Amino acid sequence: AARAAAADLLARGGWCPDPARVLFAGSGRQAISAVVAALTRPGARLGVEELTYPVLKAIATRLGVTLVPLAMDGAGLIPEAVEEAHRAGPLHAVYVQPVLHNPLSLTMPAERLDRLADVLLTCGIHAIEDAVWAFLRDDLPPLASRVPERTVLVDSLSKRLAPGLSLGFAVVPAAVSGGVAAALRSGGWAPMGFPLEAMAQWQAVGAVETLVRAKQRQAVERQEIAERHLGDFVTRSAPGSYYRWWELPRPWRADTFVAAAARHGIAVTPAAAFAVGRHRGPHAIRLGLASPSAETLSRALATLADLARSAPEDLAQD
């Protein structure tokens, strides 16, 4: 019953996974850890977007996996970059965020996903599709719908419902299902009973759908607030995203701006947290828009905008 409910919850854009292919973890992070452990080994090369989820960087370090940064453009990961990296030294897998990429909020168009699916088949490698934010754009079928035998889709309950309700999902091809299940067991990453039961019951009565629709509306509202305060700056996002990428005006450096924001009690994330390899990323920050109230968010963004209009050396003289 839980697997059927999870398959129903994960369905989007006309795609619905086979319930038999669904595995559970204690959280989305644990699901990612188990899948990376199953598809790689110490010393393996894992392709990732050149800006990626910071937790994945920590997982790779713990597992002894080398992350290979892959070029992106305005449509997300460039499939030809996967081919090029694989020729340079075989990739064991590719981790990708096709919908509302964190931190850039990019969503890969259908043609780009089709091309990536072809590359996975040609190269004979698996994709780890992180779909944790895709519920905000649930009209789009995933990469897993195009090449299910080469894609492991990972997702999470907490982003949809509440941070404390932790449950991870992995939709796993039969060929690697045993390896992922073994990694979940050896990691001690089994789900707790309550989130599993809550997910099944709330999905059955439509409560998950109601919450998802509310969050979709809220994300749009939060972006409107951000646009009001940051419209004069170079930022990147999408109407339905819960975060915003801000390329800071000169002469601000990301680390200096993060420290200045912290002195005002505002937490922002520097580009370096997302950058892969020796490159520290641009002088940019990621703004999370989900947690604070609308009023608190508006005040914080007004403060940050004022900060960005001042000069770092002016602050040093305060």
Distance between CA atoms of residues 238 and 275, nearest Å: 21
* Exposure class string for 22-37: b at 16+ Cβ within 10 A, else e: bbbbbbbbbbbbbbbb
**Same domain as 197, residue 301:** no
Residues of the domain holding 268: 209-312
318 has pLDDT over 70 = no
What tens digit of pLDDT does each residue of 46-84 get? 999 999 999 999 999 999 999 999 999 999 999 999 999
SS3 label, residue 31: helix
- Whether residue 318 is contained in a domain is answered as no
User: How many other CB atoms are found less than 10 A from the CB of residue 123?
Assistant: 19
317 within some domain: no
Given 205, 220, 242, the domain boundary residue is: 205
In a domain, 89, yes or no: yes
Q: What are phi and psi of 64, to 5 degrees?
A: 70, 30
pLDDT band at 315 (very low <50, low <70, confident <90, very high): low
* Tens-place pLDDT, residues 276-311: 987 778 899 999 999 999 999 999 999 999 999 998
The answer to whether position 307 is within a domain reads yes
What CATH number corresponds to the domain at position 281? Answer: 3.90.1150.10
> Is 218 a residue whose pLDDT tops 90?
yes
Confirm whether 27 is domain-assigned.
yes
Distance CA 52, CA 101 (A): 8
Decide which of 158, 190, 205 is a domain's last residue: 205
CA 185/CA 37 separation, integer angstroms: 12
Is the residue at 81 inside a domain?
Answer: yes
Same domain, 164 and 219: no
Least confident of 155-164, 237-246, 256-265: 155-164
177 and 52 share one domain: yes
User: Do 238 and 97 form a contact (C-beta atoms < 8 A)?
Assistant: no
Domain co-membership, 66 together with 198: yes
Cβ distance 177 to 21 under 8 Å? yes
Using CA atoms, how far apart are residues 4 and 18, in angstroms rounded to an integer?
8
Asked whether residue 218 falls in the same domain as residue 183, the answer is: no
Same domain, 170 and 54: yes
Three-state secondary structure readout of 43-109: CCEEEEECECCHHHHHHHHHHCCEEEEECEECCEECHHHHHHHHHHCCCCEEEECCCCCCCCCCCCC
Predicted local confidence at residue 316, as pLDDT: 54
Considering the domain architecture, whether residues 226 and 247 belong to the same structural domain is answered as yes
Cα-Cα-Cα-Cα dihedral sign, residues 217, 75, 279, 245 = negative
CATH number at residue 109: 3.40.640.10
Between 93 and 1, name the one with better pLDDT. 93
The β-bridge partners of 126 are: 93
User: What's this model's pTM, rounded to 2 decimal places?
Assistant: 0.95
**What are the structure tokens assigned to 96, written together?**
């990708």
Give residue-wise pLDDT tens across range 83-140. 999 999 999 999 999 999 999 999 999 999 999 999 999 999 999 999 999 999 999 9
Do 125 and 225 lie in a common domain? no
Tell whether 196 and 236 lie within a shared domain: no
DSSP for 265-292, written as a single string: T---EEGGGTB-TT----SEEEEE-SSS
Do residue 160 and residue 260 come from a single domain? no
DSSP 160: T
Domain boundary (205, 230, 258) is at 205
Domain match, 42 and 172 both: yes
Residues 49 and 184 in one domain: yes
Q: Is the pLDDT of residue 314 over 70?
A: no
What's the domain count of the chain? 2
Q: Is residue 181 part of a domain?
A: yes
| Bridge partners (DSSP) listed for residue 170 | 23, 154
- Residues 290 and 237: beta-carbon distance below 8 Å: no
Question: Average pLDDT, stretch 36-53?
Answer: 98
